Amino acid sequence: MYVEHLRLQRSFAFCRVWGSHEEHDLHIHDCLEIGILLKNDLEYRFGDQTYEGKPGDIFLCRPFVPHWSYAQKDQPFECILLLFTPGILRKIPDGSKLLAPFYERNLPCRIPFDSSHAKHIKTSAEKAMEAQESGEEAWVTRQFMSFIDILLHVHDFVRKQAACRPGQSSTAIAEMVGHMLDNYQKPVDLETAASLIGLSRTAFYKEFGMLTGLTPNEFLNRLRVQHAMDLLRSTAENMTDIAYESGFQSLSTFNKRFKKYTGVSPREYLLKSYHPRRQEDGRDGPATAPRGKARSKYPDG
Protein backbone atom coordinates (compact mmCIF):
# COMPACT_ATOMS: atom_id res chain seq x y z
CA MET A 1 0.00 0.00 0.00
CA TYR A 2 1.21 3.51 -0.72
CA VAL A 3 0.00 7.09 -0.39
CA GLU A 4 -1.04 8.67 -3.70
CA HIS A 5 -0.28 12.37 -4.09
CA LEU A 6 -2.98 13.52 -6.48
CA ARG A 7 -2.74 16.85 -8.26
CA LEU A 8 -5.97 18.82 -8.57
CA GLN A 9 -6.11 22.34 -9.96
CA ARG A 10 -9.47 22.86 -8.27
CA SER A 11 -11.40 21.14 -5.49
CA PHE A 12 -13.30 18.74 -7.75
CA ALA A 13 -12.41 16.97 -10.97
CA PHE A 14 -13.92 14.51 -13.44
CA CYS A 15 -11.53 12.35 -15.46
CA ARG A 16 -11.95 9.45 -17.86
CA VAL A 17 -9.79 6.47 -16.93
CA TRP A 18 -8.91 3.11 -18.48
CA GLY A 19 -7.48 0.15 -16.58
CA SER A 20 -5.82 -3.08 -17.72
CA HIS A 21 -5.25 -6.46 -16.10
CA GLU A 22 -2.28 -6.11 -13.75
CA GLU A 23 -1.45 -6.71 -10.12
CA HIS A 24 -1.03 -3.54 -8.14
CA ASP A 25 -0.72 -2.46 -4.54
CA LEU A 26 -3.68 -0.75 -2.94
CA HIS A 27 -3.29 2.99 -2.56
CA ILE A 28 -4.77 5.70 -0.36
CA HIS A 29 -5.30 9.42 -0.89
CA ASP A 30 -7.02 12.35 0.79
CA CYS A 31 -9.67 12.93 -1.86
CA LEU A 32 -13.18 11.57 -1.74
CA GLU A 33 -13.77 9.41 -4.80
CA ILE A 34 -16.74 8.25 -6.85
CA GLY A 35 -16.12 5.80 -9.68
CA ILE A 36 -18.63 5.24 -12.49
CA LEU A 37 -17.92 2.03 -14.40
CA LEU A 38 -18.75 2.41 -18.10
CA LYS A 39 -17.30 -0.63 -19.87
CA ASN A 40 -16.42 -4.22 -18.93
CA ASP A 41 -16.31 -5.83 -15.51
CA LEU A 42 -13.74 -5.11 -12.83
CA GLU A 43 -12.72 -6.22 -9.37
CA TYR A 44 -12.77 -3.44 -6.79
CA ARG A 45 -10.78 -3.91 -3.60
CA PHE A 46 -11.68 -1.67 -0.73
CA GLY A 47 -9.71 -2.35 2.44
CA ASP A 48 -10.17 -6.06 3.13
CA GLN A 49 -13.34 -6.29 1.00
CA THR A 50 -13.59 -7.28 -2.68
CA TYR A 51 -16.49 -6.36 -4.99
CA GLU A 52 -17.26 -7.51 -8.51
CA GLY A 53 -18.23 -4.50 -10.63
CA LYS A 54 -20.56 -4.45 -13.63
CA PRO A 55 -20.97 -1.61 -16.16
CA GLY A 56 -23.21 1.01 -14.59
CA ASP A 57 -22.09 0.24 -11.03
CA ILE A 58 -21.03 3.19 -8.88
CA PHE A 59 -18.18 2.81 -6.39
CA LEU A 60 -17.77 5.10 -3.38
CA CYS A 61 -14.48 5.59 -1.55
CA ARG A 62 -13.86 7.28 1.78
CA PRO A 63 -10.66 9.33 2.14
CA PHE A 64 -7.57 7.58 3.53
CA VAL A 65 -8.97 4.06 2.88
CA PRO A 66 -6.84 1.60 0.82
CA HIS A 67 -8.43 0.72 -2.52
CA TRP A 68 -7.74 -0.17 -6.17
CA SER A 69 -9.60 -1.34 -9.31
CA TYR A 70 -8.48 -4.40 -11.28
CA ALA A 71 -9.59 -5.26 -14.82
CA GLN A 72 -10.48 -8.75 -15.98
CA LYS A 73 -7.93 -10.49 -18.21
CA ASP A 74 -8.06 -9.16 -21.80
CA GLN A 75 -10.99 -6.88 -20.86
CA PRO A 76 -9.71 -3.39 -20.02
CA PHE A 77 -12.30 -1.36 -18.21
CA GLU A 78 -13.35 2.24 -18.77
CA CYS A 79 -14.72 4.46 -16.06
CA ILE A 80 -15.20 8.07 -15.02
CA LEU A 81 -13.61 9.13 -11.74
CA LEU A 82 -14.95 12.02 -9.71
CA LEU A 83 -12.40 13.26 -7.18
CA PHE A 84 -13.15 16.04 -4.71
CA THR A 85 -12.15 17.57 -1.39
CA PRO A 86 -14.44 18.60 1.50
CA GLY A 87 -13.71 22.31 1.05
CA ILE A 88 -15.68 22.47 -2.21
CA LEU A 89 -18.95 22.11 -0.27
CA ARG A 90 -18.34 24.42 2.66
CA LYS A 91 -20.35 27.29 1.16
CA ILE A 92 -23.09 25.15 -0.39
CA PRO A 93 -26.41 25.00 1.50
CA ASP A 94 -26.54 21.66 3.35
CA GLY A 95 -23.06 20.90 2.06
CA SER A 96 -22.11 19.07 5.25
CA LYS A 97 -25.12 16.75 4.80
CA LEU A 98 -23.85 15.79 1.35
CA LEU A 99 -20.38 15.08 2.76
CA ALA A 100 -21.44 13.22 5.89
CA PRO A 101 -22.11 9.80 4.26
CA PHE A 102 -18.47 9.61 3.09
CA TYR A 103 -17.29 9.82 6.69
CA GLU A 104 -19.53 7.07 8.04
CA ARG A 105 -18.08 3.63 8.62
CA ASN A 106 -21.06 1.90 6.99
CA LEU A 107 -20.80 3.79 3.72
CA PRO A 108 -21.81 1.24 1.05
CA CYS A 109 -18.93 0.78 -1.36
CA ARG A 110 -21.14 0.02 -4.35
CA ILE A 111 -24.39 1.37 -5.77
CA PRO A 112 -25.61 -1.39 -8.11
CA PHE A 113 -26.16 -0.59 -11.77
CA ASP A 114 -29.89 -1.46 -11.63
CA SER A 115 -30.56 1.17 -8.95
CA SER A 116 -32.31 4.32 -10.16
CA HIS A 117 -29.67 6.33 -8.28
CA ALA A 118 -26.84 4.59 -10.17
CA LYS A 119 -28.52 5.35 -13.50
CA HIS A 120 -28.90 9.05 -12.61
CA ILE A 121 -25.28 9.26 -11.41
CA LYS A 122 -23.98 7.64 -14.61
CA THR A 123 -25.98 10.09 -16.77
CA SER A 124 -24.71 13.10 -14.82
CA ALA A 125 -21.10 11.91 -14.98
CA GLU A 126 -21.29 11.36 -18.73
CA LYS A 127 -22.75 14.84 -19.22
CA ALA A 128 -19.94 16.31 -17.13
CA MET A 129 -17.26 14.58 -19.21
CA GLU A 130 -18.93 15.50 -22.50
CA ALA A 131 -19.02 19.16 -21.46
CA GLN A 132 -15.28 19.09 -20.72
CA GLU A 133 -14.22 17.06 -23.75
CA SER A 134 -16.25 19.15 -26.20
CA GLY A 135 -15.17 22.42 -24.63
CA GLU A 136 -18.73 23.62 -24.04
CA GLU A 137 -19.12 27.19 -22.88
CA ALA A 138 -19.02 27.36 -19.07
CA TRP A 139 -18.13 23.66 -18.90
CA VAL A 140 -16.71 23.95 -15.39
CA THR A 141 -20.03 25.32 -14.14
CA ARG A 142 -21.88 22.54 -15.96
CA GLN A 143 -19.61 20.00 -14.30
CA PHE A 144 -20.27 21.53 -10.91
CA MET A 145 -24.02 21.17 -11.42
CA SER A 146 -23.50 17.52 -12.34
CA PHE A 147 -21.27 17.10 -9.29
CA ILE A 148 -23.99 18.36 -6.92
CA ASP A 149 -26.60 16.17 -8.64
CA ILE A 150 -24.37 13.12 -8.14
CA LEU A 151 -23.85 13.89 -4.45
CA LEU A 152 -27.58 14.26 -3.91
CA HIS A 153 -28.18 10.81 -5.38
CA VAL A 154 -25.37 9.31 -3.30
CA HIS A 155 -26.85 10.93 -0.19
CA ASP A 156 -30.34 9.63 -0.91
CA PHE A 157 -29.12 6.09 -1.66
CA VAL A 158 -27.01 5.92 1.51
CA ARG A 159 -29.83 7.23 3.70
CA LYS A 160 -32.28 4.71 2.25
CA GLN A 161 -29.80 1.92 2.94
CA ALA A 162 -29.25 3.14 6.50
CA ALA A 163 -33.00 3.21 7.15
CA CYS A 164 -33.13 -0.52 6.35
CA ARG A 165 -30.43 -1.43 8.87
CA PRO A 166 -31.33 -1.77 12.56
CA GLY A 167 -29.18 -0.49 15.38
CA GLN A 168 -27.81 2.61 13.70
CA SER A 169 -26.20 5.39 15.74
CA SER A 170 -28.40 8.22 16.89
CA THR A 171 -29.46 11.15 14.75
CA ALA A 172 -27.72 13.40 17.28
CA ILE A 173 -24.34 11.79 16.50
CA ALA A 174 -24.96 12.16 12.75
CA GLU A 175 -25.75 15.83 13.31
CA MET A 176 -22.54 16.21 15.32
CA VAL A 177 -20.61 14.81 12.35
CA GLY A 178 -22.20 17.53 10.24
CA HIS A 179 -21.27 20.13 12.87
CA MET A 180 -17.64 19.03 12.73
CA LEU A 181 -17.64 19.12 8.93
CA ASP A 182 -18.82 22.73 9.16
CA ASN A 183 -16.45 23.81 11.95
CA TYR A 184 -13.25 21.75 11.78
CA GLN A 185 -11.21 24.89 11.03
CA LYS A 186 -12.10 26.21 14.50
CA PRO A 187 -11.30 24.80 17.94
CA VAL A 188 -13.97 22.20 18.76
CA ASP A 189 -14.64 21.46 22.44
CA LEU A 190 -15.59 17.79 22.45
CA GLU A 191 -16.69 17.80 26.09
CA THR A 192 -19.18 20.55 25.30
CA ALA A 193 -20.24 18.73 22.13
CA ALA A 194 -21.07 15.62 24.14
CA SER A 195 -23.08 17.56 26.73
CA LEU A 196 -25.04 19.41 24.03
CA ILE A 197 -26.47 16.13 22.76
CA GLY A 198 -27.04 14.75 26.23
CA LEU A 199 -24.26 12.15 26.34
CA SER A 200 -21.40 11.49 28.68
CA ARG A 201 -17.91 11.69 27.22
CA THR A 202 -17.62 7.88 27.21
CA ALA A 203 -20.99 7.38 25.50
CA PHE A 204 -20.26 10.12 22.97
CA TYR A 205 -16.93 8.57 21.95
CA LYS A 206 -18.49 5.11 21.74
CA GLU A 207 -21.41 6.18 19.53
CA PHE A 208 -19.19 8.42 17.40
CA GLY A 209 -16.85 5.47 16.80
CA MET A 210 -19.78 3.23 15.87
CA LEU A 211 -20.85 5.69 13.17
CA THR A 212 -17.48 6.78 11.76
CA GLY A 213 -14.96 4.13 12.83
CA LEU A 214 -12.85 6.94 14.31
CA THR A 215 -12.54 8.86 17.56
CA PRO A 216 -13.77 12.47 17.40
CA ASN A 217 -10.17 13.71 17.57
CA GLU A 218 -9.07 11.42 14.74
CA PHE A 219 -12.04 12.58 12.69
CA LEU A 220 -11.17 16.27 13.17
CA ASN A 221 -7.49 15.68 12.42
CA ARG A 222 -8.28 13.89 9.15
CA LEU A 223 -10.53 16.74 8.05
CA ARG A 224 -7.86 19.28 8.92
CA VAL A 225 -5.16 17.37 7.06
CA GLN A 226 -7.45 17.09 4.02
CA HIS A 227 -8.01 20.84 4.11
CA ALA A 228 -4.28 21.51 4.40
CA MET A 229 -3.54 19.24 1.43
CA ASP A 230 -6.11 21.13 -0.60
CA LEU A 231 -4.50 24.46 0.31
CA LEU A 232 -1.03 23.14 -0.54
CA ARG A 233 -2.30 22.10 -3.98
CA SER A 234 -4.21 25.28 -4.76
CA THR A 235 -2.62 28.26 -2.99
CA ALA A 236 0.75 29.88 -2.38
CA GLU A 237 0.15 30.43 1.35
CA ASN A 238 3.00 29.77 3.77
CA MET A 239 3.02 26.73 6.07
CA THR A 240 2.10 28.62 9.22
CA ASP A 241 -0.97 30.20 7.63
CA ILE A 242 -2.04 26.85 6.16
CA ALA A 243 -1.68 25.17 9.55
CA TYR A 244 -3.86 27.70 11.36
CA GLU A 245 -6.38 28.04 8.54
CA SER A 246 -6.83 24.26 8.61
CA GLY A 247 -7.65 24.27 12.32
CA PHE A 248 -4.32 23.30 13.89
CA GLN A 249 -3.22 25.35 16.87
CA SER A 250 0.53 25.02 16.29
CA LEU A 251 2.90 24.36 13.41
CA SER A 252 4.48 21.40 15.22
CA THR A 253 1.11 19.68 15.68
CA PHE A 254 0.30 20.35 12.03
CA ASN A 255 3.56 18.75 10.86
CA LYS A 256 3.07 15.72 13.14
CA ARG A 257 -0.54 15.05 12.13
CA PHE A 258 0.14 15.67 8.44
CA LYS A 259 2.96 13.12 8.33
CA LYS A 260 0.88 10.58 10.26
CA TYR A 261 -1.83 10.53 7.57
CA THR A 262 0.22 11.12 4.41
CA GLY A 263 3.59 9.57 5.19
CA VAL A 264 5.43 12.77 4.28
CA SER A 265 5.89 16.22 5.79
CA PRO A 266 3.87 19.16 4.44
CA ARG A 267 6.97 20.51 2.72
CA GLU A 268 7.73 17.16 1.08
CA TYR A 269 4.11 16.93 -0.07
CA LEU A 270 4.39 20.42 -1.55
CA LEU A 271 7.45 19.45 -3.56
CA LYS A 272 5.90 16.21 -4.84
CA SER A 273 2.38 17.31 -5.61
CA TYR A 274 1.99 21.03 -5.95
CA HIS A 275 1.93 23.04 -9.18
CA PRO A 276 1.67 26.72 -8.17
CA ARG A 277 -1.34 28.59 -9.49
CA ARG A 278 -1.51 26.72 -12.71
CA GLN A 279 -3.86 28.36 -15.17
CA GLU A 280 -6.81 26.30 -16.38
CA ASP A 281 -7.08 26.53 -20.14
CA GLY A 282 -10.23 25.03 -21.48
CA ARG A 283 -10.02 21.32 -22.06
CA ASP A 284 -6.81 20.59 -20.15
CA GLY A 285 -7.73 18.04 -17.53
CA PRO A 286 -7.88 19.23 -13.92
CA ALA A 287 -6.35 16.12 -12.42
CA THR A 288 -3.66 13.52 -12.85
CA ALA A 289 -5.10 10.00 -12.87
CA PRO A 290 -3.82 7.79 -10.04
CA ARG A 291 -0.51 6.12 -10.78
CA GLY A 292 -0.77 2.83 -12.61
CA LYS A 293 -4.51 3.15 -13.24
CA ALA A 294 -4.07 4.09 -16.90
CA ARG A 295 -3.80 7.75 -17.74
CA SER A 296 -6.74 10.07 -17.91
CA LYS A 297 -7.71 11.19 -21.39
CA TYR A 298 -6.69 14.67 -20.32
CA PRO A 299 -3.58 14.17 -18.18
CA ASP A 300 -1.98 16.96 -16.22
CA GLY A 301 1.00 18.60 -17.82
**CATH code: domain of residue 66:** 2.60.120.10
Q: Does any domain span residue 291?
A: no
Number of domains comprising the chain: 2
Supply the range of the domain harboring residue 71. 2-163
Alpha-carbon distance 176 to 193, whole Å? 8
Mark residue 161 as left, alpha or beta (left: phi above 0; alpha: psi -120 to 50; beta: remaining): alpha
Do 121 and 241 belong to one domain?
no
For residues 297-301, give the mean pLDDT.
35
Q: Hey, which of 154-158, 198-202, 231-235 has the most confident mean pLDDT? A: 154-158
Name the residue with higher pLDDT: 25 or 207.
207
Could you tell me the pLDDT band of residue 114, with boundaries at 50, 70 and 90? very high
Name the residue with higher pLDDT: 15 or 296.
15
User: What type of residue sits at position 10?
Assistant: R
At 167 the pLDDT is: 53
Q: Does any domain span residue 300?
A: no
Find the Cα–Cα–Cα–Cα dihedral 176, 207, 26, 11, rounded to 10°.
0
Q: Does any domain span residue 293?
A: no
